[in-house]
Amino acid sequence: MRKKLIAGNWKMNLNAKMAEQFTKLMKETVNTDTADVVFCVPFVHLGMVKSILAGTNIKVGAQNMHYASNGAYTGEISGQMLASMEIPYVIIGHSERREYFKESDTEVNLKALTALKEGLTPIICIGETSKQRKSGRTFSVVRKQLAFAIDEMTAEDITKIIVAYEPVWAIGTGETATKEQAEEVCALIRDEIKASHGQTAADNVRILYGGSVSPENANELFSMPNIDGGLVGGASIKSTFEKVVNFE
């Protein structure tokens, strides 16, 4: 039985004071009995958020990393650095990074492999644009992004990753995928993993949905058989986030 996982992606939001106050509020209100909970916060807040949440079951994650361990990459943060801070999760290949920072499928794969090597859990994002969906290419795009992302992973590696299906057209738009649309693609992802890495890997890998998740739609989305939780943007920095986590 896969445990649900709800990950908040704060993106580039909240200054230090706001992050401190919000994390303290979440510490009081979020119940982690039924789902694993992760806050993926800006790099500069990782240490503070982690220390506020010490002693709770809420985990902290980063939103990106470089695939090299160290070196002359001004402004970058490595997986090794995250691991040395005992940050267990890292988002890889978010569509905003693919679009605005031109991250390629090859880089996404390198980052995911490095994250695994460092003992981090990569939350690997894939998903089609509106144009791709409208032209009937959703499945082929998702298949291709997935195949690149998990290239060279073993079946055991697959059980340590999280895949987030985030249709680009649903991100930050308020236009959530229907539960059927989200389920269909999450099921496809699981089928592809079964074909490439076997039944056990497919049974164990957690597949999240992301894109305009809110307290209002969390229950119907997360109750679908192949959706193991969510990657939540805007609703993860609101005081009502606990309603997304405790969606039932």
Tell me the catalytic residues. 94, 166
CB of 25 to ligand 13P, least distance (A): 19
CB of 44 to ligand 13P, least distance (A): 19
- 119 — alpha (psi -120 to 50), left (phi > 0) or beta? left
d(CA 107, CA 76): 14
Whichever of 63 and 246 has its CB closer to ligand 13P, that residue is 63
d(CA 142, CA 156): 22
Length of the chain: 248
CB of 189 to ligand 13P, least distance (A): 16
Do the Cβ atoms of 179 and 220 come closer than 8 Å? yes
CB of 120 to ligand 13P, least distance (A): 17
Q: Which stretch binds ligand 13P (CB under 6 A): 42-50, 74-82, 181-189, 211-219?
A: 211-219
Whichever of 79 and 93 has its CB closer to ligand 13P, that residue is 93
Q: Hey, what's the torsion of the CAs at 238, 240, 242, 244, to 10 degrees?
A: -90
CB of 232 to ligand 13P, least distance (A): 5
d(CA 112, CA 124): 7
Q: What mask, x for binding ligand 13P by CB under 6 A, covers residues 138 to 177?
A: ----------------------------x----xx-----
Do the Cβ atoms of 32 and 57 come closer than 8 Å? yes
> Which residues on adjacent β-strands are paired with residue 124?
92, 163
215 binds ligand 13P (CB under 6 A): no
Interface positions, 6-65, toward ligand 13P (CB under 6 A): 9
Do the Cβ atoms of 224 and 206 come closer than 8 Å? no
Q: What mask, x for binding ligand 13P by CB under 6 A, covers residues 59 to 98?
A: -----------------------------------x----
229 binds ligand 13P (CB under 6 A): no
Q: Which stretch binds ligand 13P (CB under 6 A): 51-59, 110-118, 188-196, 206-214?
A: 206-214
Q: Taking CB positions, which residue lies at the least distance from ligand 13P?
A: 233
Residue 180 burial (CB count, 10 A)? 9
d(CA 240, CA 110): 36
Give φ, ψ of 78 to 5 degrees.
-95, 160
112 binds ligand 13P (CB under 6 A): no
**Both tokens assigned to 232:** 């939540």
Question: Interface residues with ligand 13P (CB under 6 A)?
Answer: 9, 94, 166, 171-172, 210-213, 231-235
